[in-house]
Amino acid sequence: MLSRVADSLYWMSRYLERAENTARQLDVTMSLMLDTAGASAESRWRRLVAALGDSMGLDWNNDLDSMAHSLVFDHLNPASVTYTVNAARENARQVREEISTEQWQRLNRLYHQIHSPHSLSQSRSNMADVLTSLVDGIHLFKGVTDTTMIHGQGWHFIRLGRYLERAYATATLLEVFQPDLLQASEHDDTGYQYLEQVGLLRCCTAFEAYCQVYTADLSPDRILEFLLLNRDFPHSIRYSVEGIRQAVTAIQNTGARRPSDDLTAGIGRLHAMLDFTSIAEILAGDSARFLHAIREQCLHIHELIYSYYVHYSIQSALAI
């Protein structure tokens, strides 16, 4: 497939994953803010902004509604849901012939939904409903992607984008949350700590899944273990990295070129790091550094993919 097309599919997918992540984290944060005693709204907002990658233009200004509004609707702010949905659609538009009509219509509907006056007016009375329906829209897009698109290289690039973005975003989220999480006292009967921890899990749609594995007995190390190392939960980092590995393997298998050794090694290293480290080891060491290393390796993998599939030099390609 054309390098440019692969590039667009990959970014379309990353942007949508980002939009979903932003919408969900905002929703969770706003609901946490309803319990004012646990922590100040300002500190929660700062934490949210940090977890979203510390974008500009999102400073606390005492007016939650207007800040939430710009995080959702400000099409000039690269962190906003609108901006990321626009970017996803723009990427899709450039590869309109590669994706199915159902996918395009889904994405187009999402785009028109977020730009509709209705969403804007609804957001003033009930932001949560707007966010939920946006996330629903993205889920539907992923559904039609899996059911209507041919599972060839393009689809694998979409998966690659999704899991790379997810692994990176979850690592960032945990890095931001882990000081609070690890400071939690053993016995908390006020219930605020519980709300916080549920909030973290909800940011990754992980609460119910966590309960199935560990029961509703929340503890910081289990939460970290679940979000970092669980093998079967789609939003855990380990699962996401496995997703990256599978996507890249599939891309390499469908191509005629010899797989890139650097890329195989880069992914293998991250994969092994998550496969062969226990949560006890992570907590005994510097957990922040561990999380940071995951992010760096994600960036490294991104660059390797680019230099091998998208921005390769003509000389190197002709030499083969």
Partner 1 sequence: MNPGKPVEVDALFGDYPLDQAYDEMRERSGAMRSTYQTLAETLSRLPREELQRRKQSAELSFLTQGITFTVYGREEGTERIFPYDLLPRLVTAQEWSRIERGLTQRIIALNLFLRDVYSEGKILNDRVVPRELVYSCKHFRRQMRGLQVPRNVYIAVVGTDLLRVRSGEFVVLEDNLRVPSGVSYMLANRRVMKRTFPQLFQSYGVRPIEHYPQLLLSTLRSLAPEGRPEPNIVLLTPGVFNSAYYEHTYLARQMGIDLVEGRDLVTHDNIVYMRTTDGLKRVDVIYRRVDDDFSDPLIFRGDSALGCAGLFNAYRAGNVTVTNAFGTGLADDKALYAYVPRIIRYYLGEDAVLPNVETYLLTDEKERRHVLANLDKLVVKAVGESGGYGMLIGPHATIKQREEFARQIETHPRNYIAQPTLDFSRAPCLIGDRLEPRHVDLRPYILFGDKVNIVPGGLTRVALEKGSLVVNSSQGGGSKDTWVLDSR
Residues in touch with partner 1 (CB under 8 A): 1-6, 90, 93-98, 101, 104-105, 108-109, 112, 153, 251, 255-257, 309-310, 312, 314, 317-318, 320
Q: Nearest to residue 171, comparing CAs of 65, 294, 67?
A: 294
Cα separation, 65 vs 124, in Å, equals 8
Query: C-beta of 152: minimal distance to partner 1 in Å?
Result: 11
Query: C-beta of 291: minimal distance to partner 1 in Å?
Result: 31
Query: C-beta of 251: minimal distance to partner 1 in Å?
Result: 7
Residue 291 vs 304, nearer CB to partner 1 = 304
Q: Nearest to residue 12, comparing CAs of 120, 101, 112, 94?
A: 94
Tokens of 107: 């994405």
Tell me the H-state helices in 149-260.
153-183, 192-203, 207-214, 220-229, 237-254
Residue 75 vs 295, nearer CB to partner 1 = 75
Residue 67 vs 304, nearer CB to partner 1 = 304
Residue 52 vs 95, nearer CB to partner 1 = 95
Given a contact cutoff of 8 angstroms between Cβ atoms, the answer to whether 95 and 2 are in contact is: no
| Terminal Cα distance for the chain, rounded | 18
Residue 34 vs 317, nearer CB to partner 1 = 317
Residue 99 vs 209, nearer CB to partner 1 = 99
Given a contact cutoff of 8 angstroms between Cβ atoms, the answer to whether 255 and 308 are in contact is: no
| Beta carbons within 10 angstroms of residue 83's beta carbon | 22
Given a contact cutoff of 8 angstroms between Cβ atoms, the answer to whether 208 and 185 are in contact is: no
Query: C-beta of 144: minimal distance to partner 1 in Å?
Result: 13
Residue 206 backbone dihedrals phi, psi, to 5 degrees: -105, 0
Query: C-beta of 280: minimal distance to partner 1 in Å?
Result: 41
Query: C-beta of 165: minimal distance to partner 1 in Å?
Result: 19
The dihedral built from the CA positions of residue 24, 30, 31 and 35, taken in this order, carries a sign that is positive
The dihedral built from the CA positions of residue 18, 19, 23 and 26, taken in this order, carries a sign that is positive
Query: C-beta of 167: minimal distance to partner 1 in Å?
Result: 21
Residue 145 vs 230, nearer CB to partner 1 = 145
